[in-house]
Chain A
Amino acid sequence: MPQDPSDYASLDNSSSITLTELAQCCGLSAAELEELVDYNALAPLAVTATERTFSAHWVMPLRTAARMRLDFDLDVFTMAILLGQLIQIDVLQRQVQSLMAQIPVHLRKI
């Protein structure tokens, strides 16, 4: 039986995720995520009565940063810097993609 769209979440700004779940997705502890928030590397959406929530767009860059942290034995502060750079790369890649879509084909052969 196929997984319906209701069985999955799109990891973008349209959905949110709790701190506990984000920690589980990324293999980080809640305390490590809080530390990333303290460094302004990670921005919560809101603090509910029970816990913080985040935009789901953080999941993939955080997973990448957490994997690199393990692979290179980095500390949380270095991971915070890395996360910022990963997000920046993602934003720039989207901008390039957007510009490439709008530029006529004959002008793209540089």
Chain B
Amino acid sequence: MKYKDYYDILGVPRTASLDDIKKAYRKLARSHHPDMSKAPDAEVRFKEIGEAYATLKDTAKRAAYDELGHPKPGAEFRPPPQWQEDFATGGMSFEDLDLADLLAAMGRGQRDGHQRAMPIKGQDFETSVTLTLEDARRGTTVNLTLADGTSERTLQVTIAPGASQDQKLRLRGKGGKGHNGGADGDIYLHIKLASHAVFRPDHHDLYFDLLLAPWEAALGAEVEVPTLDKPVLLTVPPGTRSGRKLRLRGRGLLADHSDLYAVVRIDVPTALSPRETELFQELAKVSSFNPRATKP
């Protein structure tokens, strides 16, 4: 078994108080937490710091650890004979354990050979899956690959029609196997929606930009618009302004309970033919419309 210097890992002297140990741990945890540190070894370092703290914050574990003396980090050592008697019950050998396992077992009451091992819940998995908007509306089946210890397994999950962005599902008991009568773990599945060239999701509703020519907006029109299923005809009412949202009922991600919105944007031709120029000039002469006039 290899020795680890937990005091050195936390950067505290062997006489450090519990408060000093806690302060040192929090400081290191803040800099090495995988959510905060971009260092490639952040996860390993954080685990090491956590392992050191789990032992040194617990008076009994710290005393047992201190019994080991002060070998060099990485040096092979033999745990005291009493440990052998206490831990190596049920055919378990010290060869199967490392120092962290051994000290962690103390917290689970395994040092006393007469106590029953505590039930341990199986590992939970948190994973995500990215769906296209079409699959989210129609429903689909996804394969989840789960790294269960050293092996991998695949679980098929049927996603019901109407999934939405950031929806979270819990698959109870489908995670890792429990131990000593503990419950099996769960799978937490986070659904993400892939970005779409046309549509933007807002919960179960969808939005897209509808470009209109000035005369379509002013006179009204029937225009073909895309949906996740097939194109449909949309009636643009006369006098439609830019920014107006035209609703297509039941065309969102959750059929019949969500909608598709066309957000109107009026576009103008950048180059005009002589005839078009003439018509616009004529319109400018006869129209009394002033978009900058103060509205009542």
Question: Does A50 interact with chain B (Cβ within 8 Å)?
Answer: no
Q: Which residues of A contact B263 (CB under 8 A)?
A: 102, 104
Min distance, Cβ A97 to any Cβ of chain B, angstroms: 7
Size range of the chain A interface in the assembly = 20 to 34
A interface secondary structure, majority: helix
Q: Which residues of A contact B30 (CB under 8 A)?
A: 72
Min distance, Cβ B148 to any Cβ of chain A, angstroms: 16
* Bound Cα distance from A25 to B207, whole angstroms: 35
Name the contact of B170 in the complex, choosing from A4, A59, A73, A105 (C-beta under 8 A).
Answer: A59
Q: Which residues of B contact A49 (CB under 8 A)?
A: none
Q: Which residues of A contact B174 (CB under 8 A)?
A: 3, 7
Question: Does B259 interact with chain A (Cβ within 8 Å)?
Answer: no
Q: Closest residue to A90 on the B side, CB-wise?
A: B166
Q: Which residues of A contact B63 (CB under 8 A)?
A: none
Q: Which residues of B contact A98 (CB under 8 A)?
A: 202-203
Contact B202 A71 (CB under 8 A): no
Question: Does B249 interact with chain A (Cβ within 8 Å)?
Answer: no
Q: Which residues of A contact B45 (CB under 8 A)?
A: none
Given A102-B202, A105-B209, check contact A71 B33 (CB 8 Å). Answer: yes
Min distance, Cβ A37 to any Cβ of chain B, angstroms: 21
Q: Which residues of A are in contact with B by a Cβ distance under 8 Å?
A: 1-5, 7-12, 24-25, 56, 59-60, 63, 71-73, 94, 97-98, 100-102, 104-106
